[in-house]
Structure 1
């Protein structure tokens, strides 16, 4: 039986869910202001309105190889890697013009301490993304000594409302864990204040503090602006944080990245342990800075994954991180 517990963003990673590579970008994407976080070339390189397997089979194969290389690296460090199932035909069919996604395991659910929480996704094409992970929940979470809850379903918005209504919206990419302190990012694109309020209400009885962190309007999630590498060391794009680095982190050593690098996911590496960090070769400047600070850095080319708006942290969801 799997133990389920996430102590922090950098406690040794022992069990993790690694995303599949499955997406159909919504037909409305080229005209959507909500996708302003994507790299400029994303909609040019990736097919719109059709499954990537059909629209760009060679790119699909290369994308799968990226994830396979990452899996091999994780397993080389003794990490147990779980994979969600693929979407079914009916699930894809029900999505219609909204498209569908099964490509970033970080967001549709997340783990804080002994609590596994299904999120509430703002983008319509991602609202059923948790379904392929439900088999993992049945096999790994139900038998474990942990909580398992879901954020309330979002309210139906008024037609034409660009906010998509009051939510609550709460996505794992916005949730960073540091012991009993939990940060929740909010830019208007994903998690919102009501989602953070729900999380504070749920976690409060367990001794957790939840802090809302405002983000630049072009940043999708908090982990696209801030990454905790180990106790006392972080990677950050300060331009993406209107109120600056959260107070409890202001004494930490910082590896800074500019806004352009942040939009390419420079902060979205993944600590395997406090001493080992994974990033893309495109961000060797981050790797060099971390190595000068005593961190071993592993590199995996994740360029196709990044073109879809996420990277190493986005592609994973830990079930067990503990010292």
Structure 2
């Protein structure tokens, strides 16, 4: 892709940020490069990190048939932690990918390759976000704290995955769905089959939505030698997306059954409606998949916030029936 295919954005805005986002409109000028490093101008990533937390906590509440004020803090703490750790992870990603980003039309306007932020400043910003997130983490049960620390491993590895495997989306899934395990542990101080099955369902979901997302960069990625499932699957992407969709719903449904089988039949049936409804949304996304329409790919990818929230009302109703 030639240099002139992506016009520079005004005021340092990143090319694929949400138009008229709060960072570009309202944030103090000095803070904008750092907020852009954290992708605060593109909140979808925070949602995709937070949603598995909500899934894990919801199924934990259903499985134990109990909730407390501590769960309200878990919801809040996970939300703040998702924002901070997504920000720290994205900053780390931009540090490690600064040379690659400068060669890709969609990413060359990011703060480091565009000269808005230095690598040194980015490192300090990453550490600041991680430290604040750690103070939130230590307010949870010991098992959740252990899992939160362990989560740093896939976060650290992910930016390098596209250099050595065609499956970097798998590594993203390992990192982005850790909240399903952590939130379950924040409620139960334990781990078990339900959160593990839910975790693998989330990984399949990530493979689905991030393969769609990766199709935006296939031309540039092929030129610079970066790997992705979008490049690996090519014309067979639709078949693979259908497979990931199926695995997501089957595993999610199994996690729900394992969490609710001791509850009433009505409660179980209503809870199963969550994965079922999610499956219909993903089917709708698949029907819109067009690898040659970058704007459509981005819109479909962003719709996964709504997709991930769909099961929650079903779980809430299932708890009270």
Shared fold, TM over 0.5? no
The TM-score normalised by the length of structure 2 is 0.35
- For normalisation by structure 1, the TM-score amounts to 0.34
Pair member with larger Rg:
2
**Higher-RCO chain (CA-CA 8 Å, sequence separation at least 6):** 1
Pick the structure with more strand per residue.
1
Q: Which structure features the higher share of helix residues?
A: 2
